[in-house]
Amino acid sequence: MSNPKHYVTTEVRSRRYPTIPEFLARAVRTYGERVALRLPLAHEGRLTIQETTYRELWDLGGRLAAWLAARGVEPGDRVALLSKPSRGWAVAFVAIQRLGAVAMPLDASLQVAEVRRLLAEAEAAVLFCAPERYAELSGLAKEVPGLREVVALEEAVGALSLWDVLPEAGRVPEYKPDPEDLAVLMYTSGTTGDAKGVMLCHRNITANIEAMLKVIQVGPEDRALTIVPWYHIYGLTASFLAPLWVGASVTYTDDYRNLIPIAQKVGVTILIGVPKLYHGLWRRLSDNIQSSLAKRLLFRLAPRLLGKLVKKKLLGEQFRFFISGGAPLHPEVAGALRRMGLGILEGYGLTETAPVLTLSGPFDLPGTVGKPLPGVQIKIDLPDAEGFGEVLARGPNVMLGYFRNPRRTQEVFTEDGWFRTGDVGRLDREGRLFLVGRKKNMIMLESGKKVYPEEVEWEFSRIPEVAEVLVYEDTSRGQPMVAAMVYPNWDLLRQQGITTAEQARDFLWEKIKEAQQNLAPFKRLRDKEALLVVAEPFQKSTKQEIKRHLYVNRPVRR
Integer Cα distance of 33 and 55 in angstroms: 6
The pLDDT-based confidence of 289 (bands split at 50, 70, 90) is: very high
Quote the CA–CA distance of 77 and 79 in Å, as a whole number. 7
Residue 362: partners with Cβ closer than 8 Å, 6 or more residues away: 321, 338, 343, 344, 345
Q: How many CA atoms lie within 13 A of 412 on its CB side?
A: 21
- Count the residues in the chain: 558
| Position 311, amino acid | K
DSSP 60-85: HHHHHHHHHHHTT--TT-EEEEESSS
Average pLDDT over residues 479-502: 94
Confidence of residue 173 (pLDDT cuts 50, 70, 90): confident
In terms of Cβ atoms closer than 10 Å to its own Cβ (0-12, 13-18, 19+), residue 159 is buried
Contact (CB, 8 A) for 217 and 204: no
**More confident of the two residues 547 and 213:** 213
- Please say whether the beta carbons of 85 and 150 come within 8 A: no
Q: How many whole angstroms separate alpha carbon 90 and alpha carbon 230?
A: 9
The 3-state DSSP class for residue 39 equals: strand
Average pLDDT of 338-342?
97
Sign of the Cα pseudo-torsion (197, 203, 204, 209, in order): positive
Residues 6+ apart with CB under 8 A from 165: 64, 67, 151
- Are 128 and 79 in contact by the 8 Å Cβ rule? The answer is yes
Look over the chain and give the mean of its residue pLDDT values, rounded to a whole number.
92
> Residue 393 belongs to what H/E stretch?
strand 389-394
Q: What is the pLDDT of residue 194?
A: 63
Q: Are 388 and 425 in contact (CB under 8 A)?
A: yes
Considering only CA atoms, which of 352, 357, 354 is closest in space to residue 405? 352
How confident is the model over 158-180, as a mean pLDDT? Answer: 89
Same fold? 274-439, 442-550: no
Q: Does the pLDDT value for residue 120 go beyond 60?
A: yes
Give 556's pLDDT tier (boundaries 50, 70, 90). very low
Angle at 90 between CA 369 and CA 346, to 5 degrees: 10
d(CA 377, CA 394): 5
Grade residue 9 by pLDDT with cuts at 50, 70 and 90: low
Q: What is the mean pLDDT of residues 465-472?
A: 94
Strand bridging mode 182-187 / 78-82 = unpaired
Higher pLDDT, 174 or 369: 369
Residues 462-479, mean pLDDT to the nearest whole number? 91
Q: What is the SS3 assignment for 433-469?
A: EEEEEEHHHCEECCCCCEECHHHHHHHHHCCCCEEEE
pLDDT at 11: 56
Is residue 62 over pLDDT 80?
A: yes
pTM over 0.85: yes
Does residue 46 have a pLDDT over 90? no
With bands split at pLDDT 50, 70 and 90, how would you rate the model's confidence at 517? very high
Tell me which of 3.20.20.60, 3.20.20.210, 3.40.50.11440, 3.30.300.30 is the CATH number of domain 442-550. 3.30.300.30
CATH number of 14-201: 3.40.50.12780
Per residue in 323-335, pLDDT (tens digit) is 999 888 989 999 9
176-194 pLDDT per residue, tens: 999 999 999 999 865 445 6
| pLDDT of 117 above 60 | yes
What pLDDT is stored for residue 454 in this prediction?
85
Q: What is the mean pLDDT of residues 289-306?
A: 95
Distances (CA, A) of 352 to 95, 150, 206, 277, 336: 24, 28, 14, 24, 31
Beta-strand relationship, 356-359 and 344-349: antiparallel
Domain ranges (residues) in the chain? 14-201, 274-439, 442-550
CATH of domain 274-439: 3.40.50.12780
| Rounded Cα gap, residues 201 and 179, in angstroms | 7
Question: Which band of pLDDT confidence, cut at 50, 70 and 90, is reported for residue 3?
Answer: very low
pLDDT tens-digit map of 133-150:
999 999 999 999 999 999
